[in-house]
Amino acid sequence: MPLLANFAQQNLEKASTQNRLRTLKTSAREEGIYVRRNGKKLISFSCNDYLGLSQHVDVKKAAIEATEKYGTGSGASRLVTGNNPLYSELENLLAKAKGTEAALVFGSGYLANIGVIPAIVGKGDLIVADKLVHASIIDGCILSGAKLLRFAHNDVDSCAKLLAKNRSEYKNCLIVTDNIFSMDGDIAPVDELYTLANNYDAWLMTDDAHGLGVISTNHTHKPHIQMGTLSKAIGSYGGYVCADKIVIDYLIGAARSHVYSTALPPATIASSIAALKIIASNKELCAKPLKNALLFTKLMGLKNAQSPIVPFIIGDELKTTLFAAELEEQGFLVAAIRPPTVMPGTARLRFAFSALHKVVDIERLVTSCQLLVARIIYSRST
Ligand SMILES: *Cc1c(COP(=O)(O)O)cnc(C)c1O
């Protein structure tokens, strides 16, 4: 057995030769849409704080007031003494936003997915998941011990075929998909999947991490479980699920990541409440990220954005990293997303548009991108 240090060294070297080494870069977010890295002020096209609410004066004020009133930490899990009075206000707002009877807040979106899925399916059950669902869904599926099958991305027929062939061999069945895909920005065919779920006696769960506050997908039918996060457009932290009250009552004691993890800090809950109130009363603000994304796709000659997330798929991992580094040199912060976050051969730049971007910011970005496309992607030297 190698020394742990040698083991780590070998793995780091392997990642490095594959251009997949991951390191942390200190990034200080500043007022508005800016991030400071290595002393340089960059305009960010890489934050999921789509409405800029993490910097909003009313949201910050709510967090400060809650800290002064209740302190910085919650002291215990919610089932012990951590169930601060702010939770019920937040859960009512979430249930209202999603049109369900009830909601349950978790420590994060990741914790919601790894808690909810094993609470509703297990050994002897079947999960049918879109090929591109978020890693936290996959982790929840693996933890559950249920059989996991993947259908082709956003392909209802592929999902139907898997159900037709396999459903009868299992007891309970869960169909799960992102609502808006985090690395592709496209939208799942939720109504069709709901119909399939009904036809095959299955439950449908959607992950709306990137939807709430920016894309209102008005499905005819409500998925049985609607999961999401408070860390993106809500600008705070935490995860949630919305469902019938009886389902929520069950999850309170059955989702292990809810039972065995400390409740959120009061400031975090209070800022989510303040943000949700802004979202409920400001349609124009909520429409802006998509508008900005559409301007970008139009100017770049890409197909129309469906959400504030726009992928620009390059494929080659080195070129993708180089492209992002050049953009950073020019003052733009754009994430280079590589495998294993996305499938091999689909390394990409992931642009995230905010309500705070101005038309000129997007025009400047497009100009830089077009020059880099010519230089990096079409060059024969790399
Ligand atoms: C970000 C994200 C999560 C995880 O949420 P966190 O609150 O950041 O833990 C889950 N699902 C999707 C689709 C996401 O994009």
Q: How far apart are the C-alpha atoms of 365 and 293, rounded to whole Å?
A: 12
Catalytic site includes residue 232 = yes
Report the pocket of ligand 1 as residue ranges, CB < 6 Å. 108-110, 113, 134, 136, 178, 182, 207, 209-210, 229, 231, 239
pLDDT at 378: 83
Q: How far apart are the C-alpha atoms of 45 and 368, rounded to whole Å?
A: 13
pLDDT at 184: 96
For the whole model, what pTM was predicted?
A: 0.95
pLDDT at 220: 81
Q: Which among 319, 232, 242, 235 is positioned nearest to 63, based on CA atoms?
A: 235
Q: What angle do CA 12, 13, 16 make, to 5 degrees?
A: 85
What backbone torsions phi and psi does residue 241 show, to the nearest 5 degrees?
A: -130, 145
**Secondary element (H or E) of residue 218:** none
Contact call for residues 107 and 238 (beta carbons, < 8 A)? yes
Task: Please pick, among 74, 108, 182, 272, the residue that the annotation labels catalytic.
Answer: 182
- Which among 176, 190, 207, 237 is the best mutation to test ligand 1's pocket, defined by most ligand atoms within 8 Å of the CB? 207
Q: Which among 290, 344, 303 is positioned nearest to 320, based on CA atoms?
A: 344
The closest-lying atom of ligand 1 relative to the alpha carbon of residue 231 is 7
Per-residue pLDDT tens listing for the chain (382 residues): 889 999 999 999 999 998 788 899 999 998 889 999 999 999 999 999 999 999 999 999 999 999 999 999 999 999 999 999 999 999 999 999 999 999 999 999 999 999 999 999 999 999 999 999 999 999 999 999 999 999 999 999 999 999 999 999 999 999 999 999 999 999 999 999 999 999 999 999 999 999 999 998 767 889 999 999 999 999 999 999 999 999 999 999 999 999 999 999 999 999 999 999 999 999 999 999 999 999 999 999 999 999 999 999 999 999 999 999 999 999 999 999 999 899 999 999 999 999 999 999 999 999 999 999 988 888 765 4
Q: How far apart are the C-alpha atoms of 92 and 337, rounded to whole Å?
A: 36
Catalytic site includes residue 182 = yes
pLDDT at 380: 60
pLDDT at 2: 86
pLDDT at 219: 76
In the chain, what is the straight-line distance between the N-terminal and C-terminal CA atoms, in Å?
Answer: 39
